[in-house]
Amino acid sequence: LLAQEAGLKVRGHPGSVPQPATHSDVAPEPNSSTGLVQVSLQGTPHQVTGTVQGSTPVLQQVNGATFKQPAPLSGPLLIYRAKASDPSALATLTGLLSRAGAQLLSYHSSSTVAGEQWSVVGLSAPLSNLGELKPHVIEAFQLHL
């Protein structure tokens, strides 16, 4: 329901029979609060794992790349995937933020998978144009949660 209110389309697992929503008042077992979701961003499917810490949802893993410190999912966010050997994306991003008068509030990077790394950046305000960043990343998304 929360995802639908945020404008996200929610579907069951491909091939699954739709089931009515259910809940249980039983406390979850340890480590069972983690959820796996498949999301499509600009038509590209991604598997993400996350949980809730306090009242804030956090991202733990994207497509097998794990965040050592879970990345909080709140406010304006920039999520991008880049080659781990190329630090130019972060340098370009800080220049964009400076020119836009925005601040980098948090930065979380994932483990490296197949030479690539995911980054989740908390921003004080969304960026109006990612054109300068795009040559330095494989893909980038802005969200406001």
Q: Considering the domain boundaries, does residue 79 fall inside one? A: yes
Q: Considering the domain boundaries, does residue 2 fall inside one? A: no
Burial class (CB within 10 angstroms; exposed 0-12, middle 13-18, buried 19+) of 127: buried
Q: What would the mean pLDDT of 62-74 be, rounded to a whole number?
A: 92
Q: Considering the domain boundaries, does residue 7 fall inside one? A: no
Q: Considering the domain boundaries, does residue 8 fall inside one? A: no
Q: Which domain holds residue 128?
A: 34-144
Q: Considering the domain boundaries, does residue 17 fall inside one? A: no
Q: What would the mean pLDDT of 129-136 be, rounded to a whole number?
A: 91
Contact of 74 with 121, CB cutoff 8 Å: no
Q: What would the mean pLDDT of 94-99 be, rounded to a whole number?
A: 92
Give 63's contacts (C-beta < 8 A, 6+ positions apart). Answer: 46, 47, 48, 113, 118
User: Which CATH number is 110's domain given?
Assistant: 3.30.70.260
Neighbouring-strand partners of residue 121:
78, 107
pLDDT per position as a tens digit, 27-47: 344 454 566 666 666 677 878
Determine phi and psi for 2, rounding to 5 degrees: -65, -40
Q: Considering the domain boundaries, does residue 100 fall inside one? A: yes
Q: Which residue has the tokens 């054109």?
A: 131
Q: Which residue has the tokens 């909080």?
A: 72
Q: How many domains does the chain have?
A: 1
Neighbouring-strand partners of residue 34:
none
Q: Considering the domain boundaries, does residue 9 fall inside one? A: no
